[in-house]
Amino acid sequence: MEQMIYALIETSLTMSLIIALVLVFHHFFGDKYAAKWRYYIWFAVLIGLLLPFRPDFEHPLAIKTPVASESVLEAPTTNVSEVVSKEIVATTPSQETTTSDVWSLPVIIFSIWLVGFIVFLAYNVWKHYRFLHMIRRWSNSVTDKAILTIFEKRKKSNGSRVKAYRYTYVRI
């Protein structure tokens, strides 16, 4: 569990740095590239945020083969029954369970992160539905033929086949 939390923290910090670099890049060079490429860059960042765990590639092309050691194993000098009884006693679970094992630092960090993620997601879903409700309530359908013709020409020139709703919003 600890390794998972540390990997999540490492990935979050790395993606934060990448987002900062992308924002700086867009600030200085954003107008020189088409919007399509900016969307592709942000899509790659989104994929990196959605997949918080990365495979471990320390030696991806090297195959480790076991090397035979020259040392010879020594024969046990103690009685085997004593060793087995000691191992059984050492490996039996104790009757006492402490709560400190359950609430270690990585579990607390993960719990805080998970609660923050759920609150953030719920807040943004609520704001989206509130926005949609406001748009439905205060907008009017476009009925002007000239605007509809321009809209259809634009839609055709862009190659869009998506059904778009045409509304005007009074407060804009």
Write the DSSP assignment of 53-98 as a string of letters. -----SSSS----PPPP---PPPP-S-HHHHHHHHHHHHSPPS---
36 with 48: CB under 8 angstroms?
no
**Is 21 a domain residue?**
yes
**Between 171 and 40, the higher pLDDT residue:** 40
CB 45 within 8 A of CB 22: yes
Which residues are within 8 A (CB) of 125 and not within 5 positions of it... i.e. 6 or more apart?
A: none
Residue 60 lies in a domain: no
Q: Does residue 29 form part of some domain? A: yes
How many domains does the chain fold into? 2
The closest of 94, 112, 95 to 103, measured between CA atoms, is 112
Q: Say if CB 18 and CB 49 are below 8 A apart.
A: no
Chosen domain end from 55, 75, 94:
55
> What DSSP state is assigned to residue 33?
S
Strands of the chain, DSSP E: 139-141, 167-169
Q: Flag whether 22 is in a domain.
A: yes
Question: Residue 90: inside a domain, yes or no?
Answer: no
> What is the C-alpha to C-alpha distance for residues 112 and 116, in angstroms, rounded to an integer?
6
> Does residue 104 fall inside a structural domain?
no
Does residue 18 lie within any of the structural domains?
yes
pTM above 0.85, yes or no: no
**Lowest-confidence region among 21-35, 66-80, 114-128, 131-145:** 66-80
- pLDDT of 6 reads 79
Residue where one domain finishes, among candidates 37, 55, 73: 55
SS3 content of the chain, % helix, strand, coil (to 5): 60, 5, 35
Q: Which of 35, 55, 75 represents a domain boundary (last residue)? A: 55
Q: Inter-axis angle of helices 2-29 and 35-50, to 10 degrees?
A: 170
Mean pLDDT of 54-59: 65
pLDDT tens digit string along 7-27? 777 888 888 899 999 999 888
Task: Give the pLDDT score at 71.
Answer: 52
Q: Are 15 and 46 in contact (CB under 8 A)?
A: no
Structural domain boundaries enclosing 29:
1-55
pLDDT band at 38 (very low <50, low <70, confident <90, very high): confident
Q: Residue 48: inside a domain, yes or no?
A: yes
